[in-house]
Amino acid sequence: MIMTRARYIPLQNIAPEQARFCVYNSLLSEAAVLGFDYGYSLLAPNVLICWEAQFGDFANGAQVIIDQFIASAESKWQQPSSLVMLLPHGFEGQGPEHSSARLERFLQLCAGCNMQVANLTTPAQYFHILRRQMKREFRKPLILMTPKSLLRLPAAVSKIEDMGDGTSFKTVIDDEALTTDPNRITRLIFCSGKVYYDLLDFRKENEIKNAAIIRVEQLYPLDTKLIQEIASKYPRAQKKWIWCQEEPENMGAWMFIRHRLADITNHIIRYSGRERSSSPAAGSKAIHTHEQDKLVENAFSV
């Protein structure tokens, strides 16, 4: 083999007749670059265009593009877009400016099926939602919360079969790790994103047998029908539903989802997460760890 300095990009060499793959390291001017990518998505509707923030928090600098165009252009001007926003979002102890993509803001903008908002837990889910973005007959912006820690978490893996024939994106995922009889379940814990793995570890370490963990992968549009179908498998847990999140109580998905879940079960939904805060996250690693441990533990006792 002759060694050269020629650039080789694996994603451009998967199949002989594949689509072109391009990646650009753009300047840190979020409004300008997101505005450009949004405009490009209008002119090239058959191209999968993804804009990724270095951290989800940096979408703050592009808020005018999100409000004026991405969330509302179809309603105002009948102008659809398939733009994907990849926003690293997850409480990983990196401080107030490197934790939150302000999930609550995107959910507040959701109405009339104007866009999709998801917080995924597996590579297969990531694959399927991007594939769905181009295979659908209609175009909607896609907002993805993409925790960086899941890139290196051994538990966050998928088999190749999970992306093969007969598989597709799951808006809500039942408790696949449950080993006990569903009739013994007296508590349903709903969550979204990487906190799922913390809940799973805590349940295993403490040998808890009466709680099921349900993942809401797509927060909007919320698949209430599938949630009802999954919840019906646990007849003894209908009065004890908990929403667990990493974000403070006045942030994240809590204010968006609490009433929607309550409408399904006709009971009060209990909350497990960080206390209300003016800052997205703690600046201390020790405080972050204490808060994270507490909210996970509370999910099984609140």
Q: What is the pLDDT of residues 118-167, one digit of tens each?
A: 999 999 999 999 999 999 999 999 999 999 999 999 999 999 999 999 99
Average of per-residue pLDDT across 165-176? 97
Query: What pLDDT, in 10s, does the model give residues 56-105?
Result: 999 999 999 999 999 999 999 999 999 999 999 999 999 999 999 999 99
Amino acid in the structure at residue 178: L
pLDDT at position 168 over 70:
yes
Q: Could you tell me if 232 and 187 are in contact, meaning their C-beta atoms sit under 8 angstroms apart?
A: no
Q: Do the first three CATH levels of 10-151 and 170-299 match, i.e. the same topology? A: yes
pLDDT at position 7 over 90:
no
Residue 105 confidence (pLDDT) = 97
User: What is the helix (H) or strand (E) element at residue 23, kind and residue range?
Assistant: none
Length of the chain: 302
Residue 17 confidence (pLDDT) = 87
- pLDDT exceeding 70 applies to what percent of the chain? 100
Residue 157, CA distances (Å) to 120, 150, 154, 220 in order? 12, 9, 7, 24
Smallest CA-to-CA distance from 141 within 215, 37, 25, 29 is with 37
The pLDDT confidence band at residue 221, using thresholds 50, 70 and 90, is very high
Phi-psi region of 20 (alpha: psi -120 to 50; beta: other; left: phi over 0): beta
pLDDT at position 230 over 90:
yes
Average of per-residue pLDDT across 191-206? 97
At the top level of CATH, the class of 170-299 is: alpha beta
Q: Return d(Cα 56, Cα 36) in angstroms, integer.
A: 18
Domain parsing of the chain, residue ranges? 10-151, 170-299
Residue 1 confidence (pLDDT) = 60
Average of per-residue pLDDT across 173-186? 95
Average pLDDT, the chain: 95
User: What radius of gyration do the chain's Cα atoms show?
Assistant: 20
Q: Could you tell me if 219 and 107 are in contact, meaning their C-beta atoms sit under 8 angstroms apart?
A: yes
**CATH number 1.10.1740.10 given to 10-151:** no
Residue 108: other Cβ atoms inside 10 A? 12
The model carries a pTM of 0.94
Residue 20 confidence (pLDDT) = 87
> What's the token pair of residue 224?
């209430």
Strand pairing report for 84-87 and 142-145: parallel
